[in-house]
Structure 1
Amino acid sequence: MIEEKDISLEKAVLVGLVTQNQDEEKVKEYLDELEFLTYTAGGEVLKRFTQKVEMPNPKTFIGSGKLDEVKDYIHENDVTTVIFDDELSPAQERNISRILNCKILDRTNLILDIFAQRAQTSYARTQVELAQCEYLLPRLKGMWTHLERQKGGIGMRGPGETEIETDRRIVRDKIALLKAKIKTIDKQMAVQRGNRGSLVRVALVGYTNVGKSTLMNVISKSDVFAENKLFATLDTTVRKVVIHNLPFLVSDTVGFIRKLPTQLVESFKSTLDEVREADLLLHVVDISHSNFEEHIESVNNILAEIGCDDKPTIMVFNKIDAYKPQDFDEEDLMSERTTAHFSLEEWQKTWMHKVGNKALFISALNKENMDAFRNRVYKEVRDIHVTRFPYNNFLYPDIEELE
């Protein structure tokens, strides 16, 4: 039976460059991720275009020959959107749009669009709007070329402010208002965090779509929205969790991604205050993803950027049920290969177990090895709590006593 394609999906093609800094394998990885982003935003990728160059063309990003090839394809296949893997300059976006005569997006624009779709609370919507305005400001000329003309007519002659300048001023004023609004909400949230008392705070961090929200649902027995799409969670969710009578707070934060737009990092730094103020980080990793090592590096880079790289951290390798043995080299695991996933003893013989302070291997979806996960989290949280309140030592026994 032939599968029917969803006619509501927007037809798109992707464009990436093979350069000195990005080999063909890396470009393929980035375009795979860009395709997932496109799907998350409501698009369907029909074709990918790549070109090998030393550096991007300053006028059109790709060469004129490749641009003609893209133009012919999109016109023959009624493609409405062309998405570039790297951020385009305002001039590049303008020039490409003029030649291809269709909607032109770059990775930054696409991520902003997904964030706009996913934002639920007033806080998240304000942050996304701020990022969009900062992205839009230098691109006003390309979007509103008709506004560059001076107004004419009686009483309007002579020097004056052009409409494009007026629009820029309006956007700058809007940015100032949004920043002020975020500052006000930040103060309110700081008060809320202060009112949570002396409970130990644990934050889930990790790449987007690694299963943080699913794990949050399992350990807190709550119903946080989880979906197999990128950026399913934008708003920070905080839940009270109790393990072996020890209460503490767990927060689920926005997922990270490679090439995360600068505007979003700036806008969402305040949301990441939950990470900054956490006593313990659970760095969740999708072990089934072939590029999970790069994901770990991307998350660590962003944690360093917000000053959280020195916090106590437990590496939690999730989705062991979805792991495919062919994703690894022979020396990484046992020499014997089967289609079944590995036992916990086998996982613990890998190099991953040695990352940080003894990593955990779980499947949040299938609730595999969750008892070991809870015991480990209990031990770490208890150590933090007892250090802070030594007189409470008798209330919460060592995990060895419980076992």
Structure 2
Amino acid sequence: MTTPTTTEREDTRAWVLHPDIRGHEAARDADLALEEAISLAHALPGLNVVGSEVVRLPRPHPGMLFGKGKLEELKERMEANDVGLVLVDGPVSPVQQRNLEKALGVKLLDRTGLILEIFSERAATREGVLQVEMAALSYQRTRLVRAWTHLERQRGGLGFVGGPGETQIEADRRAIDEQLVRLRRQLDKVVKTRELHRASRAKVPFPIVALVGYTNAGKSTLFNRMTGAKVMAKDMLFATLDPTMRRIELPGGGPEVILSDTVGFISDLPTELVAAFRATLEEVLAADLIVHVRDISHPETEEQAEDVHAILDSLGVTEDTPQIEVWNKIDRLDPGAREAIVTRAARLDNVQALSAWTGEGMEALIEAITAGITEATHETTLTLGFDEGRKRAWLFEKGVVEGEEQGEDGFTLTVRWSARQQAQFEQL
């Protein structure tokens, strides 16, 4: 996928459509979904969103998505508003995309294509850039299916007269696959470098605290307040795409920790991106404590939290890793709702209500993180035989050994570790 530059997109007039399909079980409130889609569009520099609407459908038309009457109505609207790009908040098949672009006379992006465009704009590290390129190629590969108007045969390359060749689609798929292999090799090198950094961090006995949450929940604002760093923190979806890590000493004589800010999660994240960004989210798997940041002022905060839990489950995060839930953005609530949320949070275990923007509630959160880190580790005495060198090396590599004595039959080690590390050790 060739991504237009910001300059090329300058002042592109865009129209956002959210198809509301009747009877769709997973469907959320259509107006809120449209609002999120508009926020996605605003996250792409150079786009000027001049209009938006929910399109209610009894069922999607297989070839055009929308019915004939609706298409004529949309075409008039696009022409009247000089629209150059239509953004459809949902999946659009290659055939539908081609037919819609022809019928409406504009370029079209579906939800996956739009998110890929945003990711390609925002990726800052080498790993992020490579992951986006791979995701874009994987997406482009699916776009080749039936997207061509011609399937003429190319001449076979083996010298046989009239011999079978390959279709244009097959040639393009092969070119994409070769490029994917090249990118994967480059990514492997970058990931190995990252693993070395992670291994060096593992030897330093600092717990890792990972901030996770739905996109635009306020993770980067919280990260900045805790670290004094200047991570991009705007009221914009996907403001952070690459993990940012800082070693900090928690206030009030608290322990030193490594704080990690991660990419925001989103509902219906394209499968290409879930796979491509798995390495980015691996920092969460290494965490000793997960801080789940929620925008408690959002009308669909519960559904957003469910999306986050689902992605954490898919990553393999287990219940062994302690979690704190942060109900952020209480400053956006009216006084009555705000008091109710703060009171409710105080009654629940591992829940903190605060405003990362104003700083209200930060002291209580720091205390909770300090307690969570302290409770997250416990001391154990182990006895290992001389033939269990691999297990002993693993313990030292993780930096959990506090003392060791050698006896006639092996080693007696005093270790301080988390339940997650103990579970990993027991599987060795």
Q: Which residue of 2 aligns with 1:161?
A: 166
The SS at the match of 1:105 is strand
CA distance, structure 2, for counterparts of residue 156 and residue 72 of structure 1: 53
The SS at the match of 1:222 is coil
Is 1:349 the counterpart of 2:343? The answer is: yes
Displacement of 1:195 after TM fit? Answer: 0.2
Does the CA-based 8 Å contact 2:322-2:376 persist in structure 1? no
CA distance, structure 2, for counterparts of residue 354 and residue 114 of structure 1: 39
CA distance, structure 2, for counterparts of residue 369 and residue 65 of structure 1: 54
CA distance, structure 2, for counterparts of residue 209 and residue 61 of structure 1: 30
CA distance, structure 1, for counterparts of residue 268 and residue 334 of structure 2: 26
Displacement of 1:382 after TM fit? Answer: 1.9
Is 1:302 the counterpart of 2:298? The answer is: no
Q: Which moved more, 1:88-97 or 1:37-46?
A: 37-46
Alpha carbons of structure 1 residues 285 and 23: separation in structure 2 relative to 1, 3 Å: closer
Q: Of 247, 254, 271, which aligns to 1:240?
A: 247
The SS at the match of 2:206 is coil
Does the CA-based 8 Å contact 1:17-1:56 persist in structure 2? no
* CA deviation profile, 1:332-367 (whole Å, cap 9, x unmatched): xxxxx4xxx735xx43432x5555x33101111111
Q: Which residue of 1 aligns with 2:213?
A: 206
Displacement of 1:145 after TM fit? Answer: 4.7
Alpha carbons of structure 1 residues 70 and 238: separation in structure 2 relative to 1, 3 Å: same
CA distance, structure 2, for counterparts of residue 202 and residue 363 of structure 1: 19
CA distance, structure 2, for counterparts of residue 353 and residue 182 of structure 1: 45
Does the CA-based 8 Å contact 2:152-2:167 persist in structure 1? yes
Does the CA-based 8 Å contact 1:49-1:70 persist in structure 2? no
* CA deviation profile, 1:310-353 (whole Å, cap 9, x unmatched): 2211000111111246xxxxxxxxxxx4xxx735xx43432x55
Alpha carbons of structure 1 residues 360 and 62: separation in structure 2 relative to 1, 3 Å: same
CA distance, structure 1, for counterparts of residue 274 and residue 249 of structure 2: 32
Does the CA-based 8 Å contact 1:16-1:31 persist in structure 2? no
Is 1:105 the counterpart of 2:138? The answer is: no
Q: How does 1:327-338 map to 2 (within 5 A)?
A: 337=336
Alpha carbons of structure 1 residues 142 and 8: separation in structure 2 relative to 1, 3 Å: farther
Is 1:29 the counterpart of 2:40? The answer is: no
Q: Which moved more, 1:179-188 or 1:69-78?
A: 179-188
CA distance, structure 2, for counterparts of residue 23 and residue 267 of structure 1: 24
Does the CA-based 8 Å contact 2:16-2:89 persist in structure 1? no
CA distance, structure 1, for counterparts of residue 68 and residue 294 of structure 2: 41
Is 1:371 the counterpart of 2:378? The answer is: no
Q: Of 7, 29, 46, which aligns to 2:50?
A: 46
Does the CA-based 8 Å contact 1:320-1:361 persist in structure 2? yes
Q: Which residue of 2 aligns with 1:219?
A: 226
Alpha carbons of structure 1 residues 183 and 259: separation in structure 2 relative to 1, 3 Å: same
% identical aligned pairs: 36
Q: Of 178, 181, 189, which aligns to 2:183?
A: 178
Q: Which residue of 2 aligns with 1:291?
A: 300
Alpha carbons of structure 1 residues 312 and 28: separation in structure 2 relative to 1, 3 Å: same
Alpha carbons of structure 1 residues 87 and 224: separation in structure 2 relative to 1, 3 Å: same
Give the structure with the higher percent strand: 2
> Which residue identity is paired with 2:239?
A
> Which residue identity is paired with 1:213?
S
Q: Of 232, 236, 249, which aligns to 1:229?
A: 236
CA distance, structure 1, for counterparts of residue 34 and residue 190 of structure 2: 36
Q: Of 313, 323, 326, which aligns to 2:323?
A: 313
Q: Which moved more, 1:220-229 or 1:129-138?
A: 220-229
Gaps of 5+ in 1: 1-6, 326-336, 394-403
Does the CA-based 8 Å contact 1:150-1:162 persist in structure 2? yes
Q: Which residue of 2 aligns with 1:398?
A: none
The SS at the match of 2:242 is coil
CA distance, structure 2, for counterparts of residue 30 and residue 169 of structure 1: 37
CA distance, structure 1, for counterparts of residue 161 and residue 118 of structure 2: 44
CA distance, structure 1, for counterparts of residue 49 and residue 160 of structure 2: 49
Alpha carbons of structure 1 residues 373 and 123: separation in structure 2 relative to 1, 3 Å: same
Displacement of 1:292 after TM fit? Answer: 0.9
The SS at the match of 1:380 is helix
The SS at the match of 1:137 is helix
The SS at the match of 1:120 is coil
CA distance, structure 1, for counterparts of residue 288 and residue 121 of structure 2: 31
* CA deviation profile, 1:165-195 (whole Å, cap 9, x unmatched): 2222110111122223223322221221110
Aligned length: 367
Displacement of 1:25 after TM fit? Answer: 6.5
Q: Which residue of 2 aligns with 1:271?
A: 280
> Which residue identity is paired with 1:140?
L
Is 1:195 the counterpart of 2:200? The answer is: yes
Alpha carbons of structure 1 residues 371 and 180: separation in structure 2 relative to 1, 3 Å: same
Alpha carbons of structure 1 residues 353 and 111: separation in structure 2 relative to 1, 3 Å: farther
TM-score, structure 2 as length reference:
0.79
> Which residue identity is paired with 1:321?
D
Displacement of 1:51 after TM fit? Answer: 3.6
Displacement of 1:384 after TM fit? Answer: 2.5
* CA deviation profile, 1:63-98 (whole Å, cap 9, x unmatched): 121111111110121111111111111121122122
Gaps of 5+ in 2: 1-9, 381-399, 404-413, 415-428
> Which residue identity is paired with 2:272?
Q
CA distance, structure 1, for counterparts of residue 102 and residue 347 of structure 2: 53
CA distance, structure 1, for counterparts of residue 28 and residue 174 of structure 2: 44
> Which residue identity is paired with 2:187?
I
